[in-house]
């Protein structure tokens, strides 16, 4: 603590800043609350409390371990740089050996870095733990922005330019190697070994086949796909921008879809029935599939490995009505 929080003037500033923040954020929060499929609805669906605190502890451990793995490359970079800096430190005469970088900062600056860098993560885990709320690992992405500043407590160097140059070189090399290794493992190696992943998902072929099925049976262009975000997004993206996705068959989640036009002009319904990593199937999509007049199933190899996993997609068509053309115009 630097003593600033013991001053009345500091708390007046905090109170004023808080009041301004509340005034600025309140209209946005009120608007978000009115959105059927906005961030608040998403948070509400995701933040279902665990049954016991033991399950919550397991979730928090998994959350922490996953994020530790995500910054493993940065930790490795810090270790490499620290080893180099330690060697330089030993070669420097004792009278000229520099202190750690953090000790050269003002106490208030050190406190600011630690507080801003660690408090969000600590508070999030404490609140989630107390309320038994599971945390998704990707929610912590912004918590590690100040990771580089934590190196100040480990590094020391008499030549700041040399330290900066070494840091840039090491970080860039590790990031390039990490990205290349991840891409190779999730792409070509997974494809050859028969390990299904989203990187090897044959989205283009799935889209081509279901679109061909629609074109063979319907006289009007396909403009709407009812499915989950991943499968529906793959189909729509590969066909073209004229195709919209009715997410999970729910018009509340898809405000860009005109419900009246959808009812008149029909849609393609697609459900991922793959045995490996099947997507969650919402009741709305199942209800729409029950309304289809033509339906079937297609199977496509997920990878290039012979006898490997298959992508199984159940498709169905709700045909356009006679008044679809008038609605489109």
Task: Give the N- to C-terminal CA distance of the chain in Å, as an integer.
Answer: 67
pTM for the whole thing?
Answer: 0.68
pLDDT in tens, 165-203: 999 999 999 989 988 988 888 888 888 888 888 888 999
Q: What is the DSSP string of 104-159?
A: GS-HHHHHHHHHHHHHHHHHHHHHHHHHT----GGGGGGGGTTHHHHGGGT---S-
- Residue 257's pLDDT is 92
- Residue 37's pLDDT is 62
Rg (CA), the chain: 27
CA dist 260 → 67, 77, 209, 265, 267 (Å): 45, 56, 27, 9, 12
Q: What is the mean pLDDT of residues 104-119?
A: 89
Q: What is the DSSP string of 166-232?
A: HHHHHHHHHHHHHHHHHHHIIIIIHHHHT---GGG--HHHHHHHHHHHHHHH-SS---EEEE-HHHH
- Residue 3's pLDDT is 67
Angle at the Cα of 150 (from 144 to 120), degrees rounded to 5?
40
Nearest-angstrom CA–CA distance, 277 and 121: 30
Token pair 């599939």 is at which residue? Answer: 289
pLDDT in tens, 43-95: 776 778 888 999 999 999 999 999 998 888 889 999 999 888 888 888 788 87
Nearest-angstrom CA–CA distance, 244 and 226: 9
**E strand or H helix that includes residue 66:** helix 53-70
Could you tell me if 300 and 258 are in contact, meaning their C-beta atoms sit under 8 angstroms apart?
Answer: no
Nearest-angstrom CA–CA distance, 59 and 132: 9
- Residue 93's pLDDT is 82
Q: What is the mean pLDDT of residues 260-277?
A: 90
- Residue 328's pLDDT is 47
Two tokens, residue 110: 């050190």
pLDDT in tens, 215-229: 999 988 999 999 999
């Amino acid at each position: 603590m630097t003593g600033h929080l013991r001053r009345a003037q500091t708390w007046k500033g905090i109170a004023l800043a808080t009041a301004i923040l509340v005034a600025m954020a309140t209209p946005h929060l009120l608007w978000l609350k009115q959105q059927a499929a906005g961030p608040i609805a998403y948070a509400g669906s995701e933040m279902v409390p665990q049954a016991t605190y033991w399950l919550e502890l397991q979730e928090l451990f998994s959350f922490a371990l996953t994020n530790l793995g995500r910054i493993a490359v940065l930790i490795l970079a810090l270790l490499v740089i620290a080893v180099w800096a330690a060697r330089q430190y030993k070669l420097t005469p004792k009278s000229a050996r520099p202190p750690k970088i953090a000790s050269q900062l003002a106490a208030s600056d050190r406190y600011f870095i630690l507080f801003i860098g660690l408090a969000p993560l600590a508070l999030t885990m404490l609140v989630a733990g107390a309320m038994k709320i599971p945390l998704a690992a990707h929610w912590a992405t912004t918590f590690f922005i100040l990771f580089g500043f934590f190196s100040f407590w480990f590094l020391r160097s008499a030549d700041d330019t040399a330290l900066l140059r070494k840091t840039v070189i090491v970080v860039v090399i590790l990031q390039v190697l990490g990205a290349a290794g991840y891409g190779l493992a999730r792409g070509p190696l997974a494809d050859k070994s028969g390990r299904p992943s989203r990187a090897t998902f044959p989205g283009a072929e799935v889209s081509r086949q279901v679109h061909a099925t629609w074109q063979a049976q319907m006289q009007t262009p396909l403009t709407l796909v009812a499915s989950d975000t991943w499968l529906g997004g793959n189909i729509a993206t590969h066909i073209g921008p004229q195709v919209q996705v009715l997410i999970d068959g729910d018009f509340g989640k898809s405000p860009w879809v005109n419900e009246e036009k959808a009812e008149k002009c029909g849609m393609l319904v697609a459900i991922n029935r793959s045995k490996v990593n099947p997507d969650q199937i919402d009741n709305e999509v199942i209800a729409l599939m029950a309304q289809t007049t033509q339906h079937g199933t297609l199977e496509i190899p997920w990878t290039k490995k012979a006898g490997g996993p298959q992508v199984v997609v159940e498709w169905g068509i709700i045909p356009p009505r006679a008044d679809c053309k008038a609605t489109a115009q």
